[in-house]
Structure 1
Amino acid sequence: MALLSFDMKRNPAQAKTSLLVLLALMIVFPFIAQQFGNSWVRIMDIALLYIMLALGLNVVVGFAGLLDLGYIAFYAIGAYTAGLLASPQFAAVIESFVNTYPVVGNFLVMVCGPEIVQNGIHLSLWLIVPISALFAAFFGALLGAPTLKLRGDYLAIVTLGFGEIIRIFMNNLNAPVNITNGPQGINLIDPIRVFGVSLAGEPGSGSMVKIFGMSTPSVNAYYFLFLLLCIGVIFFSVRLQDSRLGRAWVA
């Protein structure tokens, strides 16, 4: 018998115990790995992000059985949207419109106001996440509508093409109007703030974050946020699989 088992149907008691053991290991990991430097924790930060991406892909490929090779394009759309809503980049967008298309640019200046024109948009994380998700979902629906009846290789070709189109489009969307800053990407993105606490650390803190009166490295703060989000996505994915809609997809 395996030391750890996650089969909730055949052996639910062992599966729950295994989940608790795994969760305990994940909680203590950054404190142990930190003894060898922050790089290992930073790697796990990125790994947790990709785990959440893989769980989303599993809905399409695993549950519905649709070979989607352009899934990462929707992630890119959401990421660029988040970048525009939390950086000085939108100020550069308005400036580009003013220089290239004065009518549109002056309209944006009038609508956005001097603060955004000067400093860009800096929204809260709680607004950025749903807006970015809705924007990515809109493009998902836009691609999904004409490809509803495609299956197998045909769907794979269409989604792969869409993924490449988005990649090329984003890399070249710096002229004539600079929206994405081209291959250089969007810079100076605001650090994540949760309940007023910057997970990158305040200026002069040496990348240390104070949580409940205790100081912890920035990479640890990001790690626990991503771990919490990952647990939420796993829970949602499992509940979705057991729902009527999930069973219909699997069937």
Structure 2
Amino acid sequence: MKNKLVVFLIAAVGLLLLPLLAQHAGNFWVRMLDFALLYVLLALGLNIVVGYAGLLDLGYVAFYAVGAYMFGLLASPHLTDTFPAIKAMFPYGMHLPVWAVIPLGAALAGIAGMLLGAPTLKLRGDYLAIVTLGFGEIIRVFMNNLDRPVNITNGPKGLQQIDSIKIFGMDFGRSGELFGIEFSSVTKYYYLFLLLVVVSVIICHRLETSRIGRAWMAIREDEIAAKAMGINTRNMKLLAFGMGATFGGVSGVMFATFQNFVSPESFSLQESVMIVAMVVLGGIGHIPGVVLGAVLLAALPEALRWVAGELDLQRVTDGRIDAAILRQLLIALAMIAIMLLRPRGLWPSPEHGKAAPQPVKA
């Protein structure tokens, strides 16, 4: 117990000091850490659906989009500029506080998750994956086309001038100074995202060890046996979709305020596949593994982007090698190598997929 406490304290100090050290090398590295934490939030939410309940969801990015566009519409001048009635009601714009925005984003995404789960309750495996994939693409296409006849989402142009988060008068969109230490805006967002990740990890751990978590795992292992034991599989599946979606909604809110801009291009199918890969690569159903997989797959592309820029591959190879294509190739090769060497993930759950016990020899 003491050893675990020491490890936790060392990890906590390291996480608190990491952005302060990284910002000396440039805000690029802190920004990379911010996006890694956002993907950790997304992966933890998808892990509830895929890892705990065993429901393959390839449209998870839709809930990410719902949260981002919800905040974008409420925290940008788009609605007041487009609709005179809203302008008359809110002459200075709708600037909701963070305490209202985060629960609202979570609730809206949770409702969207249950709406997705309702028609898919009898589907399994590939069929469930295809339906959820279609749902994710439908949301993206809607966001891309809801600019006429009434301009709601501003279409492919996206929503701009989105407010930054303000807590206790502190604007996260501006640099500040505390105890003689300068904190850039990306560093401030790092600590906000880190707090949300810690809260999410606690929630996921409590869910995993609760009766609801055990019911989800029973459905994952054998749905017929779980139903025979009295588990309401219908309600449990809906709850898994809804709970998982809430994490996506909160992540979307944070993404919108961090970028100050959202557009449909940020919520493509590739994003959904990447989030699923984070869960599978790290270790399905295991929180530390999911966090590890999300951090690696979120940071690796950005690190390779920096390497390609430093090497200036376009100039060295006379344009024969595109840095973006090479980066994707290296990521794919790394994922293939890891899954061949560690088929259960980098840090798999000790229970999930455990082999049967061997008989004891006399």
Range of TM-score over shorter length = 0.7 to 0.9
Indicate whether 1:243 and 2:210 are aligned.
yes
Given residue 92 of structure 1, which amino acid in structure 2 is its aligned partner? Answer: D
Structure 2 counterpart of 1:185: 158
Bigger drift between 39-48 and 209-218 goes to 209-218
CA displacement at 1:115 relative to structure 2? 4.7
Structure 2 counterpart of 1:98: none
| Percent of aligned pairs with the same amino acid | 54
Cα distance per residue 1:131-181 (max 9 Å; x no partner): 122111111111211111211111100000000111111011111111111
Structure 1 counterpart of 2:197: 230
Structure 2 counterpart of 1:58: 47
Pair 1:136–1:147, CA change in 2 (3 A) = same
Structure 2 counterpart of 1:219: 186
Structure 2 counterpart of 1:47: 36
Q: Map of 1:1-251 to 2, 5 A cutoff? A: 13-95=2-84, 109=85, 112=86, 114-116=88-90, 118-201=91-174, 208-210=175-177, 215-251=182-218
Tell me, in whole angstroms, the C-alpha distance in 2 between the residues paired with 1:92 and 1:163: 29
CA displacement at 1:214 relative to structure 2? 5.8
CA displacement at 1:213 relative to structure 2? 8.1
CA displacement at 1:20 relative to structure 2? 2.5
Cα distance per residue 1:59-104 (max 9 Å; x no partner): 0000001100001101101110011111111113425xxxxxxxxx
CA displacement at 1:56 relative to structure 2? 0.4
Pair 1:173–1:92, CA change in 2 (3 A) = farther
Cα distance per residue 1:161-219 (max 9 Å; x no partner): 00011111101111111111111211111110011211112xxxxxx224578642111
Runs (4+) off by over 3 Å: 12-17, 210-215
**Structure 2 gaps, min length 5:** 219-362
SS of equivalent to 1:122 = coil
User: Is the Cα–Cα contact under 8 Å of residues 87 and 93 in structure 2 kept in the other structure?
Assistant: no
Tell me, in whole angstroms, the C-alpha distance in 2 between the residues paired with 1:234 and 1:40: 24
Tell me, in whole angstroms, the C-alpha distance in 2 between the residues paired with 1:187 and 1:248: 43
Greater relative contact order: 1 or 2 (C-alpha under 8 angstroms, separation 6 or more)? 2
**Structure 1 gaps, min length 5:** 1-11, 96-108, 202-207
Tell me, in whole angstroms, the C-alpha distance in 1 between the residues paired with 2:92 and 2:45: 34
TM-score (norm 2): 0.57
Q: How many residues align?
A: 218
User: Is the Cα–Cα contact under 8 Å of residues 165 and 173 in structure 2 kept in the other structure?
Assistant: yes
CA displacement at 1:228 relative to structure 2? 1.0
TM-score (norm 1): 0.81
